Amino acid sequence: MLFALGFALAAAPHAFAQSPNQVSQLKISVWPEYDQPTVLVMFDGTLADATNLPRSVSVLIPSSANLRVTTYTNADGTFAPEQSSQPANLNDGWTRVTFSIKTAQYHVEYYDNLLRGAPDKSMDYTYKADAPIDQAILEIQQPFKATNFLITPPMSTTRTDADGFKYFSANYANIAAGQTITAQVKYTKSDPALSIAALPTSPAPIATLAPAPATVPASNAATSVFLLVAAVVVGLVAVIGFFLYQQRSRELAPAAASRGRSRRRAERANGARAAAAYCTQCGHGLSSEDVFCPRCGTKRRVM
């Protein structure tokens, strides 16, 4: 008896200890035929332990589902960029999806082809908890133009959002890991239009007329005309001067070149006349003071 009591007391802390993956609040949103002719499912969960961050979190989705988004909610309420996920098929109809979060709130989206029949349609939805959940709410959106909308078990709480969509919801508490939540939905809908088509479109931009040109006073107009004429005259003078300069340069260039050639020829002639004698070896001109030839070094021969 004492042994059994001691064992129970020893096991009690483990039985009541909080799971590290425990969720304090979870919202499950199920939207049939919203933006695809299938069912959009979204999880918005808040971890009970918000101290061990960043960390990994896991959720279960049907193995037939098409996973689209895994992310977390920033402090300002916006979603962070999509986080990479690691899916693991459990081979029991469920896949465990694990991803990293930096805040205690996570967000998951997936599509699943759960609808059957037309125009009378039915859907069997099942959620399976991967970790204990303190409080959960299942909310189902009525599709656009759907009639005879019926949910089993009945959901008494309803709301209508600003866009006119109607929602049915049910609350659940103390959900254990592995426990399921189910709902069967039936409705009639022959219109193939998706619910997103009912959203109001952005208003067309208001056309604005171009402002009329401002009226210029007569005095300002006269001043503008005078400045324009002056600018044209200055420009013409500059262009004419440039062409005259170019023409003069072309006329003077041959004369200058001729004078240069004449000057070089005169210098050579003057150098030849200045030579008093020539080297008997190489013929280079020698001045009266040269004893040796400055070109080849031969000693000057005295005649």
The CATH number linked to 135 is 2.60.40.1730
How many domains are there within the chain?
A: 1
pLDDT at 208: 43
pLDDT of residue 269: 44
Per-residue model confidence as pLDDT tens digits over 27-69: 999 999 999 999 999 999 999 999 989 999 999 999 999 999 9
Classify 94 as helix, strand or coil.
strand
In a domain, 234, yes or no: no
Q: What is the mean pLDDT of residues 223-246?
A: 67
In a domain, 138, yes or no: yes
pLDDT one-digit tens code per residue, 6-29: 444 444 444 445 677 899 999 999
184, part of any domain? yes
Specify the higher pLDDT residue, 149 or 280: 149
Decide: 86 and 98 in contact? Cβ < 8 Å.
Answer: yes
**Is 210 a residue whose pLDDT tops 50?**
no
**Cα gap 246→226, rounded to integer Å:** 30
Phi-psi region of 255 (alpha: psi -120 to 50; beta: other; left: phi over 0): alpha
Per the omega criterion (within 30 degrees of 0), is the bond before 211 cis? no
Within-domain flag for 122: yes
Residue 263 is assigned to a structural domain of this protein: no
211 within a domain of the structure (yes/no): no
pLDDT value of residue 19? 78
**pLDDT band, residue 251 (cuts 50/70/90):** low
Question: CA of 105: how far to CAs of 54, 81, 84, 97, 300, in Å?
Answer: 11, 14, 16, 16, 112
Instruction: Report the distance separating Cα 163 and Cα 160, nearest Å.
Output: 8
Model pLDDT, residue 21: 87
Name the pLDDT band for 261 (thresholds 50, 70, 90).
very low
Question: Is 50 exceeded by the pLDDT of residue 195?
Answer: yes
Mean pLDDT of the chain: 80
For the chain, the 3-state helix, strand and coil shares in percent, each to the nearest 5, are 25, 35, 40
Report the pLDDT averaged over residues 115-139: 97
Write down the pLDDT at residue 238: 72
Weakest-pLDDT range from 68-82, 107-121, 180-194, 234-248 = 234-248
If you count them, how many residues does the chain have?
A: 303
Mean pLDDT of 256-264: 43
Q: Is residue 134 part of a domain?
A: yes
Looking at residue 156, its pLDDT comes to 83
pLDDT digit string (tens) for 68-118? 999 999 999 999 999 999 999 999 999 999 999 999 999 999 999 999 999
Nearest to 167 by CA among 180, 183, 178: 183
| Joined tokens for residue 81 | 């960029």
Domain that holds residue 137: 19-192
The closest of 61, 64, 67 to 82, measured between CA atoms, is: 67
Q: Specify if 230 maps to a domain.
A: no
